[in-house]
Amino acid sequence: MKIGVLALQGDFAEHISVLEGIGVEAVEVRLPEQLQGLDGVIIPGGESTTIGKLATAYNLMEPLRLFGSEKAIWGTCAGAILLSSDIHSHQPLLGLMDSTVKRNAFGRQVASFEAELDVPALKSSGLGEQPYHAIFIRAPLIESLGKEARSLAQLPDGWIVAVEQGRLLATSFHPELSTDDRFHRYFLSLVSR
């Protein structure tokens, strides 16, 4: 299995090191032709406006849409914003996931926090019963989902922070900054689904 990590901006290196820790081949993607031969793609956290502008300039938007219509893509934080179809403002989006997302949803003062999440999908995939310790950094919230998408995890107040739609995965937190690799393993299960 070979996974590409979009390496235009943000914490792509951290994703690559988690994947390599699991024993999966991971490569940086900056050009459309580098999508060839990949089984899945991760869009990392960072700044979604910057990643979107660079992906547009590098002619990656349409090839990524095509890739995501056939294969697995996981967006973490800024990547979850890029995957969505509506964010109430104008910036380049892939629009692959039927979700409405609110950027920087937690405001400045509480922009970064950590939370224990109950994730039934990790349990039912045999990835362990313990809660998932999630790191949120100027995180978006997933406000609403279309029929095809399903919530995988919510904060105690009910806000959705992880979503799956077919082989697309979006998390508003940063599994690449955690020592818990279960979300990466879960994504690999979507890749080979």
Kindly write out the interface string for residues 54-83 of this chain, putting x where it contacts ligand GLN by CB under 6 A and - elsewhere: -----------------------xx--x--
Q: Rounded to the nearest whole angstrom, what is the least distance from the CB of residue 32 to ligand GLN in the complex?
A: 22
User: Considering only residues 137, 143, 159, 181, which one is a binding residue for ligand GLN as defined by CB under 6 A?
Assistant: 137
User: Considering only residues 46, 68, 75, 175, which one is a binding residue for ligand GLN as defined by CB under 6 A?
Assistant: 46
Q: Which of 14, 15, 164, 176 is catalytic?
A: 176
Tokens of 119: 């994730």
* Region binding ligand GLN by CB under 6 A among candidate stretches 26-34, 40-48, 56-64, 185-193: 40-48
Residue 179, amino acid: T
Tokens of 180: 């818990």
Which residues partner with 183 through β-bridges? none
Residues in the interface with ligand GLN (CB under 6 A) total 11
Is residue 114 part of the annotated active site? The answer reads no
Q: Which of 77, 129, 133, 184 is catalytic?
A: 77
Cα–Cα separations (whole angstroms), residue 115 to 8, 97, 154: 28, 24, 10
CA 149 – CA 86 distance, rounded (Å)? 14
Please tell me whether residue 24 binds ligand GLN under the rule CB under 6 A.
no
Q: H helices within the chain, ranges in order?
A: 12-22, 48-57, 61-70, 78-83, 120-124, 182-191
Please tell me whether residue 138 binds ligand GLN under the rule CB under 6 A.
yes
How far from the centroid of its chain's Cα atoms is residue 187's Cα? 9
Is residue 176 part of the annotated active site? The answer reads yes
Q: How many CA atoms lie within 13 A of 187 on its CB side?
A: 32
Binding interface with ligand GLN (CB under 6 A): 45-48, 77-78, 81, 103-104, 137-138
Which residues does the annotation mark as catalytic? 77, 174, 176
